[in-house]
Amino acid sequence: MILIVDDDVGMAETCSMFLEAHGFDVSIAASGAEALSRLGGAPHTLLISDCAMPEMSGVELSENLKADPATARLPILLMSASLRCDIAKSTAYDAFLRKPFLAENLLIEVRKLLKGVNPVRNDFSEV
């Protein structure tokens, strides 16, 4: 199960529908707190999170997850349209996509992460 976390419901639903069309099981959370709650209840294989969210950013969420032994091995894909996303100071994620991105690039990163491939970080590329 892939968990998509984004306060932009339209973006989360678009990503979810695309991934479901490619055979993935997907659930959506609208905040970092909701994501933490969902991750405590059911096993997930991947987290995709927006960076810029109110109350708890995607970076803060990923740092919390990587610090917890129960979720430390969960692959995390961060995404953001914001140039202010503070990913440069964090190593608590496994891949990054700059919004807007091509749906095919999302699929490539998801497949890499689920296969355990450690992708080259592509933090500031325009995709």
Please give the structure tokens belonging to residue 80: 């953001």
Judge whether 58 and 52 are in contact, CB under 8 Å.
yes
How many angstroms separate the CA atoms of 79 and 125, rounded?
Answer: 12
Are the CB atoms for 45 and 1 separated by under 8 Å? yes
Q: What is the CATH architecture assignment of 2-114?
A: 3-Layer(aba) Sandwich (3.40)
The per-residue pLDDT string of the chain (127 residues; one tens digit each, 9 = 90 and over) reads: 999 999 999 999 999 999 999 999 999 999 999 999 999 877 899 999 999 898 999 989 999 999 999 899 999 999 988 766 666 566 788 998 988 899 999 999 999 999 975 444 444 333 3
In the three-class reduction of DSSP (H, G, I as helix; E, B as strand; rest coil), residue 112 is classed as helix
Asked if omega into 100 is within 30° of 0 (cis), the reply is yes
For position 125, what pLDDT does the model report? 36
